[in-house]
Amino acid sequence: MKVIGLAGWSGAGKTTLLTRLIPYFNAQGLRVSVIKHAHHQFDVDVPGKDSWRHREAGAAEVLVASSNRWALMHELRGAAEPRLPELLSKLSAVDLVVVEGFKREPHRKIEVHRAANGKPLLFPDDPGIAGIATDTAIDTRLPTVHLDDIEGAAALLLHAAMPVEEVVAKSAAIR
């Protein structure tokens, strides 16, 4: 299993790019999973439904299963936010895990940059940036691809992806 991150400011197009890359990877026979960090409270459950009521009542974990999918919700209840290695260990084995967020973790990242966003690049300050997907010309030695070049972006992600064991080891070293 390999891991690569997508980094960039809000509005740069990380989600748009990823929703175009996933079908491309699938068509190449690759299984892809995504870990997304949220900076705000979020809820994947519907208030009033049984699973929500179980969680609200104090259950540490609630697993909901059907013939279409299953989802495990784990309440931290004041515990520390899990780091990337812990979350990676919870995933089923796939070919590629794309991580959005967790910018302080030491995995490699592809920066997504959109000129109209008006934000500065991250790469000069983040040594984990291994390439850039952008809609503008950038003066850098890093490999770059256009945001609309899905085949090129996919190749860039696959080339820069790290084995999960390397991500875990690097993360343990910075603890």
| Mean pLDDT for the stretch of residues 131-159 | 97
Which CA distances in Å does 66 have to 60, 63, 92? 20, 10, 18
> What does the pLDDT look like over 22-66, one tens digit per residue?
999 999 999 999 999 887 777 777 888 888 889 888 888 888 888
CB 144 within 8 A of CB 138: yes
Pairwise CA distance, residues 8 & 132, whole Å: 10
Question: What value does the mean pLDDT take over residues 107-127?
Answer: 94
Strands 2-7 and 144-146: unpaired
Whole-model pTM above 0.85? yes
Residue 162 has pLDDT above 80, yes or no: yes
Q: What is the 3-state secondary structure (H, E, C) of 132-167?
A: EEECCCCCCCCCEEECCCHHHHHHHHHHHCEEHHHH
**Domain extents in the chain:** 2-42+81-173
* CATH code of the domain occupying 2-42+81-173: 3.40.50.300
At residue 175, the pLDDT reads 66
